[in-house]
């Protein structure tokens, strides 16, 4: 069970949260102009790294706010969480 540091509420158990997948995937600015390859990249392709991963979480059973977190997928070690719009913690990228 992960102990997740919500940037708004502090450390809470994983069961209060829902995982939102890879962070920092930007929605296409001009969807009409997008090629099929660019759509595939946006919708489906993921980095899925073995190592430090920047991901989104939502504190569903708490403050219900979205935030980002840096976690090592090889060890589940959490490097820190940060609010949307903020920079990842040092050492995460």
Which residues lie near another protein (CB under 8 A)? 1-2, 14-15, 18-19, 21, 36-37, 39-41, 43-50, 53, 55, 71, 73-76
Shortest separation between residue 19's beta carbon and another protein, angstroms? 4
Shortest separation between residue 41's beta carbon and another protein, angstroms? 7
Closest alpha carbon to 53 in 18, 82, 79: 79
Residues 6+ apart with CB under 8 A from 62: 6, 8, 9, 12, 16, 17
Tokens of 57: 């979480």
Shortest separation between residue 3's beta carbon and another protein, angstroms? 11
């Amino acid at each position: 069970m992960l102990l997740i540091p919500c940037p708004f509420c502090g450390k809470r158990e994983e069961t209060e949260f829902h995982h939102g997948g890879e962070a920092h995937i930007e929605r296409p600015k001009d969807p009409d102009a997008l090629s099929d390859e660019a759509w595939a990249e946006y919708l489906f392709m993921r980095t899925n790294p073995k190592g430090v991963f920047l991901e989104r979480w939502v504190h569903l059973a708490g403050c219900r706010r979205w935030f980002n977190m840096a976690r090592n997928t090889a060890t589940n070690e959490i490097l820190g969480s940060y609010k949307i719009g903020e920079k990842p913690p040092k050492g995460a990228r």
